[in-house]
Amino acid sequence: MQPQSEQATDVELLHAVAGGDEVALGALYDRYRVILFGLLVRILNSREEAEDVLQEVLLQVWRRAGDFDEQRGRPFTWLVTLARSRAIDRLRLLGARQRLADSAAQNAPDEASDAVKDTLHAEQREIVQRALAELPEEQTRILMLAYFEGLTQSEIATKLSTPLGTVKTRMRSGMIKLRELLGKEIKSLH
């Protein structure tokens, strides 16, 4: 249970985030990341998926902080609800992917299945590499360290001798731009 003054601080942070304050978003992240990450790991049963969903939740908070209504509940409750909803969405997506993969595996010989998987992975890797190549180098480097070397934002800040806030900003900006670029790539395939 949070004291009333701390709750007011959370409300103030959300109002600041709604106004475009990245530092306020970082403060909310620092305050609740451990709790939200733990919840996501329990729901998804995967640290990797939980990390990905936590980033999605932060992006959603950034975009929808103005939707928060302090008359309807506490900021913490709102954050937990967002995290839980994104986790359930991810479970549905993973379940659909697994059903599709299982169906494809049953209907295709193993060699063809492996060839299809290899081709698909190669195409996906190429799409991601093209998108990463369009990002500024400092954003690409931070994303590579986070997602391919598994470093936390704090570890990245230490490794690059860069302020933590700068790392967070570059990671968020890079993720937003990467999502846009990948969305364009996927649309062009259809």
pLDDT tens, 17-64? 999 989 989 899 999 999 999 999 998 888 998 999 999 999 999 999
Mark whether 65 and 148 lie in a shared domain.
no
- Res 9: pLDDT: 85
Mark whether 2 and 89 lie in a shared domain.
yes
- Res 1: pLDDT: 45
Q: Are the C-beta atoms of 17 and 24 separated by less than 8 Å?
A: yes
Domain edge (last residue) among 107, 139, 169: 107
Cβ burial, residue 61 (10 Å; 0-12/13-18/19+) = buried
Give residue 166's domain range: 109-190
Portion of the chain with pLDDT greater than 70, in percent: 78
Residue 145: band (very low, low, confident or very high) from pLDDT cuts 50, 70, 90 = confident
- Res 19: pLDDT: 92
- Res 63: pLDDT: 92
Domain edge (last residue) among 92, 107, 122: 107
Mark whether 156 and 64 lie in a shared domain.
no
Domain edge (last residue) among 51, 84, 107: 107
Range 64-77 average pLDDT: 88
Predicted TM-score (pTM) of this structure: 0.49
Mark whether 88 and 12 lie in a shared domain.
yes
Mark whether 154 and 128 lie in a shared domain.
yes
Mark whether 5 and 42 lie in a shared domain.
yes
Mark whether 102 and 141 lie in a shared domain.
no
One-character DSSP codes across the chain:
---HHHHHHHHHHHHHHHTT-HHHHHHHHHHHHHHHHHHHHHHHS-HHHHHHHHHHHHHHHHHHGGG--TTT--HHHHHHHHHHHHHHHHHHHHHHHHHHHHHHHHHS-HHHHHHHHHHHHHHHHHHHHHHHHTS-HHHHHHHHHHHTS---HHHHHHHHT--HHHHHHHHHHHHHHHHHHHHHHHHHH-
Residue 188: band (very low, low, confident or very high) from pLDDT cuts 50, 70, 90 = low
Is the pLDDT at 101 greater than 80? The verdict is no
- Res 139: pLDDT: 84
- Res 189: pLDDT: 57
Report the CATH number at residue 187.
Answer: 1.10.10.10
pLDDT tens digit sequence for 80-95: 999 999 988 888 887 7
- Res 71: pLDDT: 86
Mark whether 190 and 169 lie in a shared domain.
yes
CA–CA gap between residue 81 and residue 12 (Å, rounded) = 19
Mark whether 114 and 188 lie in a shared domain.
yes
Number of domains in the chain: 2
